């Protein structure tokens, strides 16, 4: 038989990572001594075939021509093909095969050319048997890439069996997002996960299916802190927390409740040197406070070592080449919305800002000692000046 394998992600240069399923399809047919054609040039698409497998896992990759989509000899594989009649999934006998590591034209210095692809499951079922997955051409630092897509959706007993098997491997990398809910709620799973030998420089992708309240976030942060303590060469790139949980339209004060929750979570994470990613919905009307909440996502993703106070003043500081104290002490520099909002928080909710808005990273804090609080109160808003000043000084002295 003549088999064509067409990886749209790789062909269109939207991915330089070999598709493990494509590698297994190639291996299956080569073991049957069939002819395999891997598409790297346009002419390869036109070659005769008995079966063509088209793979698409990236949203930005183009779709194949309709002529191929409608061809009954074509198998469409990937989540973006599910609406088509030609959508297929690999048979278990194919997933049991050793990957064809020679299928993709990778440079020798490509990390994936020197990796072992490990698959333990067919969907959520343990593979009854599997061929040796060792990449014998691998040289140098050999990673074990775990490609099971539904590992964390499997029964707990199956997850535990998989983790027990992975304990015998070194330099492990999970290619699919890791479920925090499964790890946090099952101590046996958590203990086994923490015992795994992860590859140096591993960047974890965590799926927060557990929760975004402080109690839930604290448990996640504590787990990640322990993970980091056991593996000091890995990189914790953060986990997502929902910025808006409550209905701000129903009650505007719930915006402050959400803000305090977010700042409290970030403060605790920074103290333990764990990155948190505050995520805001793309729907701008989710909150009337959008202009003040969208900065939280930018802050935690790109400027996480700055304090909240510093972040809210950063653009004004950079634009006018002034210090934080110069801005807060000069009413002429209060026109920017974020500066105005920070002053509002500082005056009306000093406890929140003092407790959760000053931490930079670890034990490093932003100081407000040089800010003339008396002048700020006298010039801004319509608060009871003496009462506000007294409360503010008490909170900032704690």
pLDDT tens sequence across 336-348: 888 888 988 888 8
Helix (H, G, I), strand (E, B) or coil at 388: helix
Mean pLDDT for 110-138 is 90
Strands 121-122 and 125-126, sheet pairing: antiparallel
Mean pLDDT for 371-380 is 70
User: Confidence class of residue 382 from pLDDT cuts 50, 70 and 90?
Assistant: very low
Give pLDDT, residue 241: 96
Between the alpha carbon of residue 108 and those of residues 38, 138, 194, the distances in Å are: 19, 9, 32
Mean per-residue pLDDT over the chain, rounded: 90
Residue 49 has pLDDT above 80, yes or no: yes
Residue 177 has pLDDT above 80, yes or no: yes
Please report, for the domain that includes residue 16, its CATH number. 3.40.50
Query: Helices in 119-212 by DSSP H: which ranges?
Result: 156-166, 180-185, 187-195
Tell me, yes or no, whether 51 lies in a domain. yes
Give pLDDT, residue 224: 94
45 in Cβ contact with 5 (< 8 Å): no
Give pLDDT, residue 392: 56
Give pLDDT, residue 55: 97
Percent of the chain with pLDDT strictly greater than 90:
70
User: Confidence class of residue 394 from pLDDT cuts 50, 70 and 90?
Assistant: low
Mean pLDDT for 171-183 is 94
Mean pLDDT for 122-142 is 89
Tell me, yes or no, whether 180 lies in a domain. no
* Residue bearing tokens 């099952």: 186
Give pLDDT, residue 385: 46
Q: Phi first, then psi: what are they for 251, rounded to 5°?
A: -150, 110
Tell me, yes or no, whether 140 lies in a domain. no
Give pLDDT, residue 291: 82
> For residues 396 and 376, which has the higher predicted lDDT (pLDDT)?
376
Write out pLDDT tens, residues 269-320: 999 999 999 999 988 889 988 888 889 999 999 999 999 999 999 999 999 9
Give pLDDT, residue 337: 86
Give pLDDT, residue 254: 92
**Element at 69 (helix H, strand E):** helix 66-69
The full DSSP string for 188-245 is HHHHHHHHS-BPTT-B--EE--S--SHHHHHHHHHHHHHHHHH-TTSB---EEEES--
Residue 196 has pLDDT above 90, yes or no: yes
Q: Decide: residue 119, CB within 10 A, 0-12 exposed, 13-18 middle, 19+ buried.
A: buried
Mean pLDDT for 149-163 is 96
Task: Copy the structure tokens of residue 361.
Answer: 């990273």
Tell me, yes or no, whether 76 lies in a domain. yes
Tell me, yes or no, whether 165 lies in a domain. no
Tell me, yes or no, whether 1 lies in a domain. yes
Give pLDDT, residue 340: 84
Of the residues 37, 65, 100, the one at which a domain ends: 100
User: Confidence class of residue 388 from pLDDT cuts 50, 70 and 90?
Assistant: low
Mean pLDDT for 65-85 is 93
Give pLDDT, residue 380: 55
**Structural domain boundaries enclosing 358:** 311-396
Calculate Rg over the CA atoms of the chain.
27
CA dihedral sign of residues 206, 207, 210, 214 = positive
Of the residues 72, 100, 128, the one at which a domain ends: 100
Task: Copy the structure tokens of residue 95.
Answer: 């997933």
Tell me, yes or no, whether 367 lies in a domain. yes
* Residue bearing tokens 């928080």: 345
> For residues 389 and 22, which has the higher predicted lDDT (pLDDT)?
22
Tell me, yes or no, whether 318 lies in a domain. yes
Report the number of distinct structural domains present in the chain: 2
Of the residues 48, 72, 100, the one at which a domain ends: 100
Percent of the chain with pLDDT strictly greater than 70:
93
User: Confidence class of residue 190 from pLDDT cuts 50, 70 and 90?
Assistant: very high
């Amino acid at each position: 038989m003549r088999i064509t394998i067409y990886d749209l992600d790789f062909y269109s240069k939207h991915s330089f990572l070999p598709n493990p399923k494509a590698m297994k399809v190639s291996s299956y047919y080569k073991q049957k001594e069939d002819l395999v054609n891997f598409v790297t040039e346009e002419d390869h698409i036109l070659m005769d075939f008995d079966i063509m497998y088209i793979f698409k896992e990236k949203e930005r990759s183009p779709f194949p021509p309709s002529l191929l989509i409608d061809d009954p000899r074509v198998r469409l594989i990937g989540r973006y093909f599910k609406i088509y009649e030609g959508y297929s999934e690999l048979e278990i006998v194919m997933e049991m095969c050793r990957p064809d590591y020679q299928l993709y034209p990778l440079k020798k210095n490509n990390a994936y050319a020197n990796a072992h692809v490990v698959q333990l499951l067919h969907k959520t079922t343990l593979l009854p048997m599997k061929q040796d997955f060792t990449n014998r051409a691998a040289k140098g630092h050999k990673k074990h890439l775990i490609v099971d897509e539904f590992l964390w959706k499997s029964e707990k007993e199956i997850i535990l069996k998989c983790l027990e098997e992975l304990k015998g491997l070194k330099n492990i990398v999970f290619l699919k997002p890791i479920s925090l809910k499964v790890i946090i709620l099952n101590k046996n799973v958590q203990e086994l996960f923490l015992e795994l030998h992860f590859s140096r420089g591993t960047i974890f992708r965590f799926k927060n299916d557990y929760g975004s309240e402080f109690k839930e976030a604290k448990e996640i942060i504590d787990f990640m802190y322990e993970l980091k303590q056991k593996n000091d060469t890995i990189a914790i790139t953060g986990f997502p927390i929902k910025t808006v949980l409550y209905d701000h339209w129903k009650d505007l004060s719930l915006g402050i409740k959400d803000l305090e929750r977010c700042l409290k979570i970030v403060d605790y994470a920074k103290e333990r040197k764990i990155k948190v990613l505050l995520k805001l919905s793309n729907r701008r009307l989710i909150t009337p406070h959008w202009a003040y909440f969208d900065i939280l996502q930018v802050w935690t993703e790109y400027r996480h070592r700055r304090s909240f106070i510093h972040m809210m003043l950063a653009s004004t500081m950079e634009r006018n080449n002034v210090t934080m104290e110069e801005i807060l002490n000069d009413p002429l520099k209060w026109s920017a919305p974020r500066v105005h909002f920070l002053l509002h928080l500082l005056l009306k909710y000093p406890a929140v800002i003092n407790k959760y808005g000053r931490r930079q990273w670890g034990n490093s804090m932003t100081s407000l000692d040089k800010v003339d609080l008396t002048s700020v109160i006298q010039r801004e808003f319509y608060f009871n000046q003496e009462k506000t000043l007294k409360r503010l000084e008490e909170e900032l002295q704690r």
